[in-house]
Amino acid sequence: MTFRARREKLRAILNGTRCIRPGSVYDAISMRIAADLGFELGMFGGSVASLAVLGDPDVALITLTELAEQVRRMSRASALPFLVDADHGYGNALNVRRTVQELETAGAAGLTIEDTLLPPAFGEPRTQLISLEEGVGKMKAALDGRGDPSLVILGRTGAVSITSLDDAIARAKAYEATGVDGLFFTGIKTRSELDAIAAATSLPIVLGGAPEEMSDLDYLASRRVRIALQGHAPIAAATQAVYDTLKALHEGTSPKQLKGLASGELTARITREVEVKARSRDMLGLKS
């Protein structure tokens, strides 16, 4: 499947009437598992990118090159369309333009550009935002950097929980006016906040983590929420599994006594062993 076909699938989700849950993905294997299980979309978050690539917390240490290389590996492994958290675009508006170019050629179906001040300012413990004007400039730069018009670009803000609901609405309306394809919100805690945002804007909405009272997909769909994230449990589960397995081995457990390991059948399916053997027969003359 071409990159454009993947991007058109994401656009169909945004232009539809349902609200879906994406699968949190972070590497080639998680991409294939999400696709095999039937997820329509993957989400590659900034925090999991930092964990998967650096083993570091989400404090804006990962570089654009490192992120783009991981996106490229994931794109190669599966045709599942996925949305990439591009953070603040790795700098000012000109850096944002470069970020879009790199992630587009790496195969992302869509990406988010946020207005958080990153990296954090010296001596400031609270999350801060860039000005609305600078945020608008970044959205314009993202659109200018797009070569494939089917690439989805989402303007993202966490202003609801950082400054105010009114500021979040003002930013959303300004970003919408630049021509972005959708709006991504984090920090929304109540239905009344989402209702106000939906009433003030017209673009499809992507929602970050939200409380239980906002888990009703029908309600979310009625407020134009087309994608609702559920956090990043898969990488947390993988971390625990690796920890438990290594701990057991270190304490003397025999490999044959380990529990919870992937079966040979599952491993073969995820690694596409049948297809690889077929290519080996056809292209290398190998007999299996």
Q: Where are the domains of the chain?
A: 3-232, 238-284
Mean pLDDT over residues 125-149, rounded? Answer: 97
The whole-model pTM stands at 0.95
Domain at 3-232, CATH from 3.40.50.720, 3.90.1150.10, 3.50.50.60, 3.20.20.60: 3.20.20.60
Q: Is the pLDDT of residue 137 over 80?
A: yes
**Per-residue pLDDT tens digits for 17-65:** 999 999 999 999 999 999 999 999 999 999 999 999 999 999 999 999 9
Cβ atoms of 200 and 223 closer than 8 Å: no
Instruction: Give the list of residues 6+ apart from residue 213 with CB closer than 8 angstroms, or none.
Output: 190, 191
Mean pLDDT over residues 125-135, rounded? Answer: 96
What's the whole-number average pLDDT of the chain? 96
Cβ atoms of 113 and 138 closer than 8 Å: yes
**Per-residue pLDDT tens digits for 184-216:** 999 999 999 999 999 999 999 999 988 888 899
228 membership: H or E segment, kind and range? strand 225-228
Work out the pLDDT band at 273, boundaries 50, 70, 90.
very high
83 membership: H or E segment, kind and range? strand 82-85
Mean pLDDT over residues 242-247, rounded? Answer: 97
Res 288: pLDDT: 63
Coil, strand or helix at 246: helix
Mean pLDDT over residues 252-276, rounded? Answer: 94
Using CA atoms, how far apart are residues 221 and 93, in angstroms rounded to an integer?
32
Cα torsion 65, 67, 69, 75: sign: negative
- What DSSP line would sit under 180-215, residue for residue? -SEEEE----SHHHHHHHHHH--S-EEE-S--GGG-
**Per-residue pLDDT tens digits for 69-104:** 999 999 999 999 999 999 999 999 999 999 999 999
Res 145: pLDDT: 98
Res 1: pLDDT: 72
Q: What is the DSSP letter of 179?
A: T
Radius of gyration of the chain (CA): 20
Q: At what angle do helices 28-37 and 233-250 cross, to 10 degrees?
A: 120
